[in-house]
Amino acid sequence: MLKANNFTITSEKKRSILLALLTAAVSFVATAGRIIGYPSPVNVVVAVASGGNILSAFLGAAAGYAVFGGIGSGIIQLCTILVIAGIRMAFLQDDRRDDPVFMSMLTAGLMIMFGCVVSVAVPADTYTASMRMITALIAGCLVFIICTLRRQSRGGELDFSGVNGVFTAILYIMTVATLSALELPLINPGRIFGVFVLLAAAGRYRTAGGAVAGALTTCGVLLCSPQLASNTLLLATSGLICGAFVQFGVIASAIVFLGISLVSLVAIGLNGDTFHMFADLVAGAALFTACPNTLLKKASAFISAARSPADMVGQTASSRLNFASKTLGEIRGQINLVSAAIDRKTENRDLKVRLCAGGCSDCEMFAVCWKKRTADTKEAFEYLENTLVSYGELSAEDVRRCAPACCRPGAFAQSANEVYRRMLDERAENIKIAEMREMLTEQLTSMEDILSDLSYRVGQVREVDTLMSARMRDYFSRLGYPNSKACVYTDESNSRRAEIYLTSSFRGDLVRLTVGMSDITETDYDIPVITETGGITRLAFTELPDYQAEVSFFQACSEDDGYSGDTVESLDISPSEKYVIISDGMGTGKRAKLDSMFAVSLACRLLKAGLSMQSAYRLINSILRVKGWEESFATLDLLRLDLCGGSGEFLKAGASPAYLIRDGAVKAIGGQAFPAGILRAFSPDITGCKLFSGDMLIMSSDGVSESVIRQTPALIKSGLTTPQQLSQSLGEAAMKKAENGRRDDISIAVIKISSR
């Protein structure tokens, strides 16, 4: 532990030292910046933004002024940095250190104050005094922008839409201006950086990205070196044109960019900056070509672009689905309230009251019986009510025996029988209505869950690439599928996905198709998951996940030549989402097999349609309850594997516990809930777990005892490491253990998790 702590402390020290050196280097470079010939305040902005490394930024700025123009030229900036450092250390111990308004006003105010002091001490012309005020205001604005963006990007992602896009563009212009001020032989670092960003923007945002990046680069060069701006203007045109050739690859887009730029330079005419400009273009294109694609992806993942119309439609659809789900939930609640009120009203109308109203209310002796003989009358009515409920009808003799004083026993018996029949009919009708209300409530609940699932699925789409989607449609048209529909999008985990819908079955080579799709989108796709429904074929492409799961099953029936009541299935929704399903029908033989097959088939279809395990279980439970057979019960054991995040989630309804085998230990997971089809509303047992490479998961029916499963670590040590070997050995052990008694149906699923 001490070694680990020492290692951590050493690593933190190294990180702090590297960060301080980097801050000093950036401040040193920023000191070379100029704004129309006047020293730039970017080094002050770097110092304020560096936080605890502000003194390192001061040393870097001082070294920069000593090299580039003398300490006197940057006395205002250096004094501002020192005073802010002192105020930060002595007074700012709260959130004001990162408050955009406070820090921007502090920076601008100090620079204005020191600018006035220097102007009084060393008289300067009007231009110099004005530039001191302007740079102070620029510094305050830049500090405000950086503090604002830093606050909004603490979640690990910067929204590049709206005002944030304007802020980012301003920072980019100042960065280019600062780099362009470095007077290096033959090349201009600002334009090289601009070319790199231009090609990266064109690669992601096509023509619009290239044109905007080129125009912003020109603005940055204009601030620092106006004499270089005329040639730099061609970057906007070159970025606009090369964005249309991004589909042909990185190298092709870079070559097209250089070719267009060269033609533009020749058209503008040769001047003293022509060869330097072309050298900057070549250097920037070479740097972009050599940059690893993964590094570009990580950088672009931090910035989410302005919402495209397709993305806005997806977010709106998700919100509407969620709103509809909540509305159905409110309607379901109102129906439950009405049902409860009706039930209470029905319970208050008992049989004695109805008998009195139907048989005695119009009798001339009614007042005598209920006023002078109250006790005897109540006792007689209780006896008549019990007789009527027990035998279903009353006779005149029953009335005479219970109520000798009754003056019309025959008419009372006939009226009582009629009242009881009407009451039975009403109760039967009420039961039917209650069942209908109950079924409607179940359907509304299921629809509510389905809409929530669809809302979640639609909400996963973070950005739709319309141009790439069009390229996919063209690609499949060339393959012979002219009516195909394609959608290429990025999900919430920054993984690029593609879904293709065909009006016929796909007959080509899936490996070649995957390679082609990967080349076009510059994404490593796995073999697609194909789903066919109603003549429509869906091909879902997903980036290769970090983990893979190998599944093996073992099954044996209770009789050697009989039918197993268990059904097992493995289902791939996508390369990153996998399901394993086991269902045990009640009993054995054909009837149990039919119930379990029915449950598994429904589960597969619902999961493929995009429903969650909970919604699928609710629908299966409702369908089994109204299937109309004498018994329609089946256990349901579902496992959902997330192979990107390395996690598993179990849903168990009457199923046996699952087991996680890790490092020789066996852990039971879940297993307490009623089977599907028994109760109207009962929550299944849901348990999640984190998975790592080398883990084993074992699912089984109730024909396999826990003692058999706990033999797994010993079997692994003996050399049985594959799921096929383990499932076979565990199945044989379960059959051998049941030889002395009545053997149940046996089903075992072994899942091995490993890194891809």
DSSP 634: B
DSSP 125: -
Element (H, E) at 113: helix 100-121
Residues 178 and 33 sit within 8 Å (Cβ to Cβ): yes
Q: Which pLDDT value is given to residue 652?
A: 87
Q: Is the pLDDT of residue 131 over 50?
A: yes
Q: What is the dihedral of CA 357, 362, 367, 373, to 10 degrees?
A: -60
Tell me which residue has tokens 């883990």.
695
Percent of the chain at pLDDT exceeding 70: 76
Q: Is the pLDDT of residue 440 over 70?
A: no
Secondary structure (DSSP) of 330-386: HHHHHHHHHHHHHHHHHHT--HHHHHHHHHTTT-TTHHHHHHTSHHHHHHHHHHHHH
Of the spans 240-249, 357-366, 444-453, 567-576, which averages the highest pLDDT?
Answer: 567-576
Where in 575-612 does DSSP place strands (E)?
A: 577-584
Element (H, E) at 618: helix 613-625
Residues 513 and 528 sit within 8 Å (Cβ to Cβ): yes
pLDDT digits (tens, 9 = 90+) for 240-257: 888 777 767 778 888 888
Q: How confident is the model at residue 586 (pLDDT cuts 50, 70, 90)?
A: confident
Q: How confident is the model at residue 97 (pLDDT cuts 50, 70, 90)?
A: low
Helix (H, G, I), strand (E, B) or coil at 609: coil
> Mean per-residue pLDDT for 59-87?
85
What is the C-alpha separation between 180 and 176, in angstroms, rounded? 6
pLDDT digits (tens, 9 = 90+) for 353-398: 676 766 676 676 666 666 665 666 677 777 777 777 777 787 878 7
What is the C-alpha separation between 570 and 589, in angstroms, rounded? 22
- CA distances to 60, 414, 494, 645 from 544, rounded to whole Å, are 45, 80, 13, 12
**Nearest of 118, 5, 107 to residue 48 by alpha carbon:** 107
pLDDT digits (tens, 9 = 90+) for 147-185: 888 777 654 556 666 677 788 888 888 888 888 877 777
What is the C-alpha separation between 428 and 434, in angstroms, rounded? 10
Q: Is the pLDDT of residue 186 over 90?
A: no
**Nearest of 378, 359, 491, 374 to residue 420 by alpha carbon:** 359
> Mean per-residue pLDDT for 694-702?
89
Sign of CA dihedral 625, 630, 635, 640: negative
Q: Report the DSSP beta bridge partners of residue 582.
A: 568, 637
Structure-model confidence comparison of residues 338 and 638, the more confident one: 638
Secondary structure (DSSP) of 170-229: HHHHHHHHHHHTS--SS--HHHHHHHHHHHHHHHHHHHHHHHHHHHHHHHHHHHH-GGGH
Q: How confident is the model at residue 9 (pLDDT cuts 50, 70, 90)?
A: very low
Q: Report the DSSP beta bridge partners of residue 658.
A: 669
Q: How confident is the model at residue 544 (pLDDT cuts 50, 70, 90)?
A: confident
Q: Which pLDDT value is given to residue 219?
A: 85
The number of helix segments (H) and strand segments (E) in the chain equals 26, 19
What is the C-alpha separation between 528 and 512, in angstroms, rounded? 11
Residues 256 and 285 sit within 8 Å (Cβ to Cβ): no
Amino acid present at 133: M
What is the C-alpha separation between 592 and 586, in angstroms, rounded? 5
Measured in Å, how far apart are the chain's first and last C-alpha atoms? 31
What is the C-alpha separation between 183 and 82, in angstroms, rounded? 28
What is the C-alpha separation between 637 and 585, in angstroms, rounded? 12
What is the C-alpha separation between 141 and 55, in angstroms, rounded? 22
Two tokens, residue 476: 């499949």
Q: Which pLDDT value is given to residue 300?
A: 62
Q: How confident is the model at residue 598 (pLDDT cuts 50, 70, 90)?
A: confident
How many residues would you count in the chain? 756
pLDDT digits (tens, 9 = 90+) for 222-239: 877 777 777 777 888 888
Amino acid present at 329: G
Residues 28 and 62 sit within 8 Å (Cβ to Cβ): no
Residues 103 and 44 sit within 8 Å (Cβ to Cβ): no
Structure-model confidence comparison of residues 303 and 365, the more confident one: 365
Mean pLDDT of the chain: 78
Q: How confident is the model at residue 581 (pLDDT cuts 50, 70, 90)?
A: very high
Lowest-pLDDT range, 149-158, 287-296, 581-590, 648-657? 149-158
**Nearest of 734, 647, 632 to residue 689 by alpha carbon:** 647
For residue 63, the Cα-to-chain-centroid distance in whole angstroms is 48
Q: Is the pLDDT of residue 189 over 70?
A: yes
